[in-house]
Amino acid sequence: MTQYEKIIHDNLDTIFQQPSQPLISHIKAYKSNGNYEFKAFGQKCCLSPDGIFLENDRQTGPLGIVLSMYAKHAVSDECMIEPLNAYKSFPNTAPYVGAFANYTEHVLVPYVESIESNFKKIIDRFDGQEAPKTLGGDFSFYVWPLPKIMLCYIFYRADEDFPASVTCLFSNNAARFLPNDALADTGEYMSKSIISTL
């Protein structure tokens, strides 16, 4: 068993020791055959006592940890979307800000045109919607990597004066549902999921 698998296993032990009714409500899941199921990163996620699956793929790495941490840290609060928050505005995120910018925002820059061309496909897959024009950018959208966490991506096309750029903002109280490192990972895996849609 790898270190990742041990953490996932320990988190699942904690999750399945909790009363099911509050947990179902807190993570916005439903229970099926003793497992918890919800949509994550555009796919069906299943938390069972012996593993975590996205569709039929067992998650044994960092993404599995993020999914288990979301359930382990479940609270009754509802997602509050506005005012949106930059990742760096959450307390004690400084150690992760550089990685968040690189793996969540900068990684999408080469794909800005393709993302715009696939706008509807992306928001359909991730239960999203077009974001308000007041946020700026050339185009933008909301997507839901997890049931209680929303991300807002704001895109600027390249022009003769400036290169393309991407900004990712979080729903206001996203830090209530995950610790800081897992919150940064959520941005990274959401961006990877967007790229996989193109």
pLDDT tens digit sequence for 47-71: 999 999 999 899 999 999 999 999 9
- Over the stretch 121-130, which tens digit does the pLDDT of each residue have? 999 999 999 9
- Residue 170 near residue 160 (C-beta atoms within 8 A): no
Higher pLDDT, 20 or 196: 196
> Does the predicted TM-score (pTM) go above 0.85?
yes
Q: What is the DSSP track for 33-75?
A: TTEEEEEETTEEEEEETTEEEETTEE--SHHHHHHHHHHHT--
Beta strands 35-40; 43-48: pairing state: antiparallel
Q: What share of the chain is helix, strand, coil (3-state, %, to 5)?
A: 45, 25, 30
Q: Where are the domains of the chain?
A: 3-72, 85-197
Mean pLDDT to the nearest integer, 78-82: 96
Mean pLDDT to the nearest integer, 168-180: 97
Mean pLDDT to the nearest integer, 91-95: 95
CA distance 2 to 77: 33
**Range in 16-20, 59-63, 67-71, 83-87 the model is least confident about:** 16-20
- The CA R_g of the chain, rounded to the nearest whole Å, is 17
What number of other Cβ atoms are within 10 A of residue 176's Cβ? 17
Question: Average pLDDT over the chain, rounded to whole?
Answer: 96
- Residue 48 near residue 35 (C-beta atoms within 8 A): yes
What number of other Cβ atoms are within 10 A of residue 189's Cβ? 20
User: Quick one: pLDDT band at residue 80, thresholds 50, 70, 90?
Assistant: very high
CA distance 5 to 2: 5
pLDDT value at position 112? 98
pLDDT value at position 162? 92
For the chain, give the longest Cα–Cα distance: 58
User: Quick one: pLDDT band at residue 20, thresholds 50, 70, 90?
Assistant: confident
pLDDT value at position 1? 82
